[in-house]
Amino acid sequence: MIKTLPFLLIISLMIGCASYKFQEVITPLEAGTPEDAYTYLQKKAPKKPDIPYQFELGLVAHYANHFAESSAALDIAGDIAEDRYTKSVSKELGSLVTSDKLRPYAGTQYERLLSHYYRALNYIYLNQLDGALIECRRATALITYFKGEDEKYDFFGAAFLAHFSGTLFEAAGEWNDALISYKQAAEYYKNAAEKTGVNTPEDIGHALLRLTRRLGFTDEFERYRDQYEEPPEHPENYGELILFYESGYVPPKREENLIFPILKTDKVDDAKDFVPTLITREGAVYEEVKLEYLLRVAMPTIGSIRPRFSGISVTVEGNQETDGVLVEDVENIAIETFNKERPIILFRTLLRGVGKYLLFRQANKKNEALGLLTNLAGVVSEQADTRSWQTLPNQIFMVRMPLPAGTHTLNLSFLGANGQVHGSQPVPDIKINPNRITFWNHRTYE
């Protein structure tokens, strides 16, 4: 116990340190100067690369048009995440004594998948389609790994990445790979729809019909024709635009304090055995005369922060209008992912808290001043792990529309929850090549 006390005090100072302030990142992004956000993050680089800093740096670099640097940062994040699936025993033990912030952060499954989306876009903008296809295959392999590791895998983020991969394989003329990806997307959207709220986009059905016809898979084509509507045919000398519209921010994790009562009648000898009893007391109120100790623990929490813009409509030269389709609801995925993890986090947090209580009780029996100091150290070192990739969008919509070959100005109309237009922006100089797919992504923060 005497050896543990200074350790608690030292760690309480360490875990509060952060290399950058998130507000200093989003202020220039929202002002339309992502280069300033990128410069700020470069100046605040930690001595040792870590997640989620690399995620934030990678995405900000993407918006600042530093595509190679963006991919490099996201690659580092991916390598760290992969390594951390083999957990450090020493830091796991330390987290039980002090704070979950000591646990190596490996990123969530959906964060890791979305990093491949941005890496693929980086390659597209660098005119390196082969590199983008490699990212699609890496994402597919990661999904396969997740499926193999967890029989109850929720497919959060998998549908969008499979859908996105299908469009890239189709753009490259790799029809078989495109068909496989679209099939997977249809399956994954269906598996996750209940919790993500994202239904299978109509575009999936069109793609399945289009590709099975092209490949001469008659039986599959007939089956899909009974299931989906025929896709519209493109006129001669037309190409296609696929626009990904990213809106708002994913909700961040916050810290909340929870109080769990330890009663005078409780026999608290082993923390692990006592935690299940404490869990049943969340939110319960007891008479003061029955209380021995009020155990305060810090837990992460997450709530909805829907953006002002929650949809998009695109017109070209004032004629053709196409509405965006929701293909990824990052907010719902983030909340559902946390809800799934919360019971494990709560158990671990209470196990740590009861351990600190037992240290306090032991110290208090020897000396009240020592007990007070031990209790203070335990309180100060108790912090929730709120790490996440905060610059991710809240939702992603896809606009897929045929356009005549040539250079066009897109007129983007941003829609509110009621479908009314709340803002607009022109995007000039979008080049469409005949019989080719042009990819573009656009971000708003409101």
The residue-averaged pLDDT of 410-423 equals: 93
pLDDT tens-place string over residues 253-272 = 999 999 999 999 999 988 88
Give CA–CA dist 221/216, Å, rounded. Answer: 8
pLDDT for 96? 54
Q: Is the residue at 295 inside a domain?
A: yes
Q: Is the residue at 38 inside a domain?
A: no
In angstroms, the first-to-last Cα distance of the chain is 51
Q: State the pLDDT confidence band at 20, using cuts at 50, 70 and 90.
A: confident
Q: Is the residue at 275 inside a domain?
A: yes
Q: Is the residue at 262 inside a domain?
A: yes
Query: Apex CA 161: angle with CA 414 and CA 208, to 5°?
Result: 95
The residue-averaged pLDDT of 352-370 equals: 76
pLDDT tens-place string over residues 129-151 = 999 999 999 999 999 999 998 88
- C-alpha to C-alpha distances, 114 to 12, 46, 198, 244, nearest whole angstrom: 33, 23, 16, 13
Which residue, among 225, 190, 350, 377, has the nearest Cα to 282 in the 3D structure?
350
Give CA–CA dist 78/49, Å, rounded. Answer: 11
pLDDT tens-place string over residues 299-343 = 999 999 999 999 999 999 867 889 999 999 999 999 999 999 999
Q: State the pLDDT confidence band at 13, using cuts at 50, 70 and 90.
A: very low
Answer yes or no: is pLDDT of 10 > 60.
no
Q: What is the DSSP letter of 239?
A: E
Query: Which residues are within 8 A (CB) of 92 and not within 5 positions of it... i.e. 6 or more apart?
Result: 103
Which residue, among 389, 343, 382, has the nearest Cα to 360 in the 3D structure?
382
Answer yes or no: is pLDDT of 382 > 80.
no
Q: Is the residue at 298 inside a domain?
A: yes
Of the given ranges (206-210, 227-231, 251-255), which has the lowest mean pLDDT? 227-231
Domains held by the chain: number: 1
Q: Is the residue at 280 inside a domain?
A: yes
Which percentage of the chain shows pLDDT scores above 90?
A: 72
Helix, strand, coil abundance in the chain, percent, nearest 5: 50, 20, 30
* Domain span holding position 259: 254-302+338-380
Average pLDDT along the chain: 89
pTM for the model stands at 0.91
pLDDT for 19? 77
Which residue, among 114, 91, 127, has the nearest Cα to 328 in the 3D structure?
114
pLDDT for 209? 96
**DSSP β-ladder status, 238-247 and 437-444:** parallel
| Burial (CB count within 10 angstroms: exposed 0-12, middle 13-18, buried 19+), residue 217 | middle
C-alpha dihedral sign at 336, 279, 365, 264: positive
pLDDT tens-place string over residues 37-89 = 999 999 999 988 899 999 999 999 999 999 999 999 999 999 999 988 755 44
Give CA–CA dist 231/46, Å, rounded. Answer: 50
Q: Is the residue at 156 inside a domain?
A: no
Place of tokens 């969530």: 108
The structure tokens listed for 99 are: 């704070």
Q: Is the residue at 285 inside a domain?
A: yes
Answer yes or no: is pLDDT of 378 > 60.
no
